[in-house]
Amino acid sequence: MDNRLWVMTITTDPEAARHAADLAPAPLLDVVVPVYNEEADLERSVRRLHDYLVTELPYSARITIADNASTDATLRIGQRLAAEFGDVRAVHLDEKGRGRALNRVWRESDAQIVAYCDVDLSTDLNALMPLIAPLISGHSDVAIGTRLNRASQVTRGPKREFISRSYNLLLRVAMRAHFSDAQCGFKAMRADVARQLLPHVEDTGWFFDTELLVLAERIGLRIARSRWTGSTTRTALSTSSPPPLPT
């Protein structure tokens, strides 16, 4: 049995594409790409991500483009990609906010694991498998990448480094957080956990990631942390062998 992404007939009708997506089997992984006015980069990034998922990931997966009230051609491009690929879908929200988009899409997903990445794909896609491995195996409930681990090898500008470390120090002092790099744009969760946790996350924008992690930590969820071994533009997490397929 082939556990890679399924192949579906290409259609140019967005409504037909949505209907086909409804009939498709639920994937193991749903990768959400939240976007706002990203017409210049969206298609290139989604095609690159799709190619990686098809050729490298040993599990079924879907890409969900979450449009945050874009005023340019972002939504139309997303709908066209969804019509071309059966394992890509486009969701539109009338209000802006990355947190709002992730909260809605993650809670409504039929996948077993939900994840997100920024549209610029600044993270090396080879980081995806190590990120979701502890979720698939049942070792963890939430998985995050961190550039602030002592073992990480990341080169960033002094300003970005100072802001990032200062913010995380504030979290440790004010909220007694034990995680680092709360704003890293590469996270994943078990979907059943997301459906229970996300109704309690109130922020709809930039603070969403931090609030989610603080709540997860306070209720005792298991958070896996993966170290970075790359640069600011192309980074990679430590690699590991894929776990067995879930039964």
Roughly how many angstroms between the first and final C-alpha of the chain, as a whole number? 13
Report the half-sphere exposure of 126 (CA within 13 A, side-chain side): 12
Where do the DSSP E strands lie in the chain?
A: 29-35, 61-68, 88-93, 113-117, 142-146, 186-190, 223-227
Catalytic residue among 30, 87, 141, 209: 209
| Sign of CA pseudo-dihedral 22, 77, 48, 98 | negative
Tell me the residue type at 105: V
- Distance (Å, rounded) from C-alpha 125 to C-alpha 222? 23
Active site annotation includes 141? no
- Residues with a catalytic annotation lie at 209
